[in-house]
Amino acid sequence: MADEDRCSGFMPGERAALPHAPAGPLAGLTFAAKDLFDVAGHPTTYGNPDWARTHPPAVATATAVLALAEAGARFLGKTKTVELAFGLTGENVWYGTPLNPAAPDRFPGGSSCGSASVVARGEADIALGSDTGGSVRIPASYCGIYGIRPSWGAVSLVGARELAPSFDTAGWFAARASALRRAGEVLLPEGGEGPLGPPLRVQEAWVNAQPAVATALKPALEAVESILGPCVQVSTVPHALPFLYEQFRCIQAEEAWATLGAWIAHESPRFGPGVGERFALARDLEPGKAAAARAFRQRFRRRLLGLLGGGAVMAYPTSPLVAPRLDSSPAEQLWVREITIGVTAIAGMAGLAEVSIPAGRANGAPVGLSLVAAPGRDRALLALAERVAERMGLPV
């Protein structure tokens, strides 16, 4: 593989192709899609050569990909993903780890690493990803672009591979807030507009963040307050974020093994660092743990819907840390994973809509501010993100 291919966000080799409508609401824009979305006539690698080898090429195109092309956006090709979407750094040893153009010595974030990279490099206006445990939000924050994890179930995953279905969502990236919103107008169900507020400052997510990250996000939070009024301080989990991480991990493990375990047990595929270990932990999960976590999840979800039912918007750092360095140790990467998912699991466990805004830099790398709303309020959230961007003087 050429060196250029190894650092590109696009999959190496011939680009998947797809016709697009000559006119439509997204005419003039380009887009790419993570290589877990099917494009008819092309293989879907799911980031792993053994997956590609043991699955026939797609015969139909994923609904979300089709929807963007039908709205006039021009498809540029498939982008790299962490193997089976099970990882947050964005590393892929088979096809190469995409460059993080905003911090070239750091990871791009994953699992939708290629989509984030091509948008951050200005190669595509919009790129589809998927987000189970943070796989759109984290690379958006790491690469300094906009990203949305929509309400669970709001955007079609037909023709896309699954990891943990009760968390899986189809999300997308853009370098401009208006492009993020315009893609939403095509992909999201109708409804959910209207005013949001007040903003809720989720205490534990700010405390959990590195001080430099929290400081860098202050101007963005003030821009939110200038639109929605002063923040109200709240707490989402009485048990704090490490507990939330552990509940998420158990449910994700149970679902990932139920979804992909049969293929793994049957094919014994080769995996890059970390991925195989995570599936082995999923296989060996103590059965009672997931059941207890599912029961907790119901209570957590009810609490969050209560907090957000009236239109309130939570605001907190998308990621508590900037992107880890490419040479960080496995132990450091594991620690980053745990502390990060403690935050991303808030929206994940409750099925909420979350938009990450490229809001500043800390320690020489980008950081994002997340705005999080009740399920179904995606359109309102995208409109709010655009207003915040305007207020901050960011490209809209």
Cβ nearer to a copy of itself, comparing 294 with 387? 294
Closest CA to 333 of 272, 267, 257, 394: 272
DSSP state of 57: P
Is 111 assigned a catalytic role? Answer: yes
**Counting Cβ atoms within 10 Å, is residue 258 exposed (0-12), middle (13-18) or buried (19+)?**
middle
Q: Give yes or no for a contact between 147 and 355, defined as CB atoms under 8 angstroms apart.
A: yes
Q: What residues line the site for a copy of itself (CB under 8 A)?
A: 38, 55-63, 66-67, 70, 152-153, 156-159, 164-166, 189-191, 254-255, 257-259, 261-266, 283, 287, 291, 294, 298-299, 301-302, 305
d(CA 168, CA 157): 8
Q: How far is the CB of 195 from a copy of itself (least distance, A)?
A: 19
Shortest Å distance, C-beta 243 to a copy of itself: 19
d(CA 188, CA 191): 9
Q: Put the strands of the sheet holding 313-317 in their side by side order.
A: 74-79, 30-34, 126-131, 169-174, 146-149, 353-362, 365-373, 313-317, 199-202, 232-234
Q: Nearer Cβ to a copy of itself, position 53 or 218?
A: 53
Query: How far is it, in rounded angstroms, from Cα 236 to Cα 102?
Result: 32
- Catalytic annotation, pick one of 135, 319, 356, 370: 135
Taking the least distance from each CB to a copy of itself, the nearer of 103 and 164 is 164
Question: How many whole angstroms separate alpha carbon 46 and alpha carbon 43?
Answer: 9
The catalytically annotated residue of 8, 34, 151, 370 is: 34
Beta strands in the chain (DSSP E): 30-34, 74-79, 126-131, 146-149, 169-174, 199-202, 232-234, 313-317, 353-362, 365-373
Nearer of residues 211 and 266 to a copy of itself, judged by Cβ: 266
Q: How far is the CB of 190 from a copy of itself (least distance, A)?
A: 5
Spot the catalytic one: 8, 78, 111, 130.
111
Distance in angstroms (rounded) separating the CA atoms of residues 320 and 215: 11
CB of residue 38 vs a copy of itself: minimum separation in angstroms? Answer: 6
What does the DSSP 8-state code read for residue 363?
T
Asked about 226 being catalytic, the answer comes back as no
Min dist CB 36 to a copy of itself, Å, is: 13
Q: Give me the least distance between CB of 246 and a copy of itself, in Å please.
A: 18
| Of residues 27 and 232, the one with the C-beta less far from a copy of itself | 27
34 is catalytic: yes
Residue positions annotated with a catalytic role: 34, 111, 135
